[in-house]
Amino acid sequence: LASSAAKDPIGYKVTCSICLEYFKDPVTLECGHNFCRSCITQCWKKSVTQETSCPQCREKVQQRNLKSNWQLANIIEITKKLPKGQKRAEDKEKVCGKHQEPLKLFCKDDEIPICWMCDRSKEHKDHTVIPVEEAAQDYKVKRKMCNLVKKGDISPKYHDIPFLSTCLLQKQIEEKMEKTLQESTQVRQFLEEQEKHIQVQMEELKKQITRERDEHLVQLSQNVSSLESLIQEMKEKCQHPPVELLTMLHSHFFCKNIHAPISFSLFLTNVIWEFCDLNSGLCAVMKQFQANVSLDPDTACACLVVSEDHQRVRWEAKNQDVPDNPERFNPRAYVLGHEGFTKGRHFWEVVVETEGGWSVGVAKKSVRRKGPVTISPEEGIWAVGNWAGSYRATIHPSNSALYLTEKTKRVRVCLNCAVNQLAFYDADTGDQIYKLSNVPFIGETVVPFFYVGRGGHLRVSL
C-alpha cells in the first residue's frame, strides 16, 4: 500500500521509491536518482549479487559515492508544511495510480503507459517495454501514415508496404551513426593524447641520446690525444740503441693501456626498441577484441578448485570428489576455458594471484585429456609460464627461457586466428613477453589453457 507521503499531491516527487515515505537523509547516486540513505543501504545489503546498482534505472554505481542532497532535504521540510491537495490536475495523469510513480515507460504488449515498478512486476514480466517518448514518436508516424492513406495521398498499391518499420529502422540507423560518431571522437581524442605523450617521451629520449653522444665524443677525443702522445713518445724511444730499447720492454711506457670505447647505454637501446614496437597499451582500442573468458570446471583436474563464478582456479593438495568424465584432465593439473575460437582477434588477461607454478596460453579443443600430457606444440598446447621461479615459453622444443626483470602479475594473451599468431604481454607494463607466428591451428577450435602448480592461484580478469 502506498504511504500518505506517496499519495500526497506533491509528496510523490519528494518520496523515496523504496519506502514510499518522505526522504530521510536523502542521498544522490551517480545516475542522479535519490533515495533515503538507510533504504538504499538496506537494499544493497539484501542484494544477492556483490554489484551495486540503482533500484530505479538499474545502472551500476559505486556504493562509496553516496552524496548527501541537502537541497532536497530542505525542499522536503517545506513540502511537509504545505496543505495537501495542491497538485495540478495534469500531474495526476502522469503518475501510476497503483504505485504513484511517473509513467515513463510504455508496454507494447498491453499498449498502456506504466511506471518502473510496473515493469518489475509479474504482470508485465517478459513484455516488450520502451520509453514513452519513443512510443509516442512511433504512434505519431503511424497516425500520419493512416491519415495519408485516408486522404488518398498514397496509391493503394503501396498501402501494404511497412512504412512505419522503414521509418523506425531509419531512426535506429541514425541513432547508431550518432553513437558511432561519438565513440570515434573519443577514440580520436585518446589517440591524440597518446601521441602527445609519446612525443614528450621521444623528446626526452633524444636529449638522453645527445648527452650520451657528447660524453662519448669527449672520451674519444681524450683517447685520440693519448694515442698521439704515445705515438710521438714511441718514435723518440725508437731512436735509442737496440740494447737500451730492449731494456725498456717492461717499463711503464710499454704497459700503458688505452680504455676501450664505452658501449652505448643498454637502457637507451631498450627504450628505442620499445618505441619501434606497437604500443599494446591502447586499451580503449583493444577492448573490442576482449574475449569473455570463463573456466570450464568439467575439464579441471581433480586437484584444481574452480570458483563458482568460473573466474578463479587454485591448486589443492587433496583431490576433489568429481567424476572422471572424458573431458577432465587426469592426472595433469590443467583446465580449459569454456569459449572456443576459430576466427577473428581475441585477447584476455590472467592475474597471477599466488606465485606458484603456473602457465597460460591456448590449446586445441581436441587436446588429449588423459595421461602425461606435456605442455608442448606436439600435444597442441602453446603457453608461457613460471616453473620453479624460472619463466619459460613452452611453445618450442627447447622450452625457451624468458628473461624478465620483474615478476609478471598480469598476463595478456593475444590470439589472432586470421594470421595464426599468438602473443603474450605483461598487461601492467605493456611489455611483450613472447610472440609466435604461423601457429599450426588452422581449421581447429582453440580454447584458453591454464596450468596451476603446487600453491598456484590464477584469476581471469574481466
Domain boundary among 161, 193, 221: 161
For residue 428, being part of any structural domain is answered with yes
Per-residue model confidence (pLDDT) at position 193: 74
Model pLDDT, residue 83: 62
pLDDT of residue 157: 46
- Other Cβ atoms within 10 Å of 160 Cβ, number: 7
pLDDT reported for residue 275: 57
Query: Tell me, what's the pLDDT at 249?
Result: 60
> Is residue 225 in a domain?
yes
DSSP H/E element including 313: strand 312-315
pLDDT for the residue numbered 128: 85
Q: Could you write out the three-class secondary structure of 126-155? A: CCCEEEHHHHHHHHHHHHHHHHHHHHCCCC
Q: How many CB atoms lie within 10 A of CB 222?
A: 11
pLDDT of res. 278: 46
| 327 falls within a domain | yes
Residue holding cell 606465485? 355
pLDDT at residue 91, as a whole number: 44
Question: What pLDDT is recorded for position 414?
Answer: 92
> How many whole angstroms separate alpha carbon 265 and alpha carbon 263?
6
Which pLDDT belongs to residue 13?
A: 67
| Structural domain for 134, as ranges | 88-161
pLDDT of residue 287: 63
Query: Are 338 and 245 contained in the same domain?
Result: no
Same domain, 426 and 308: yes
Chain-centroid distance of CA 149 in Å reads: 52
Domain annotation covers residue 189: no
Question: In the 8-state DSSP scheme, what is residue 96?
Answer: -
pLDDT at position 313 is 97
Domain contains 384: yes
The domain boundary residue, chosen from 242, 276, 310: 276
Helix (H) or strand (E) holding 346: strand 345-354
CATH code for position 98: 3.30.160.60
Judge if 138 and 73 occupy the same domain: no
Residues (pLDDT < 50) of the chain are 1-9, 86-92, 154, 156-160, 252, 277-278, 280-281
Is residue 176 domain-resident? no
Regarding whether 56 and 93 lie in a shared domain, the answer is no
* CB 334 within 8 Å of CB 373: yes
Whether residue 257 sits in one domain with residue 154: no
Is the CB of residue 35 less than 8 Å from the CB of residue 29?
Answer: yes
The CATH number of the domain holding residue 49 is 3.30.40.10
Q: What is residue 351's three-state secondary structure?
A: strand
Residue 5 CB partners (closer than 8 Å, separation 6+): 11, 12, 14, 15, 20, 21, 22
Amino acid at 63: Q
Answer yes or no: is 188 within a domain: no
DSSP characters over 213-264: HHHHHHHHHHHHHHHHHHHHHHHHHTTS-HHHHHHTTTSTTTT--PPPPPPP
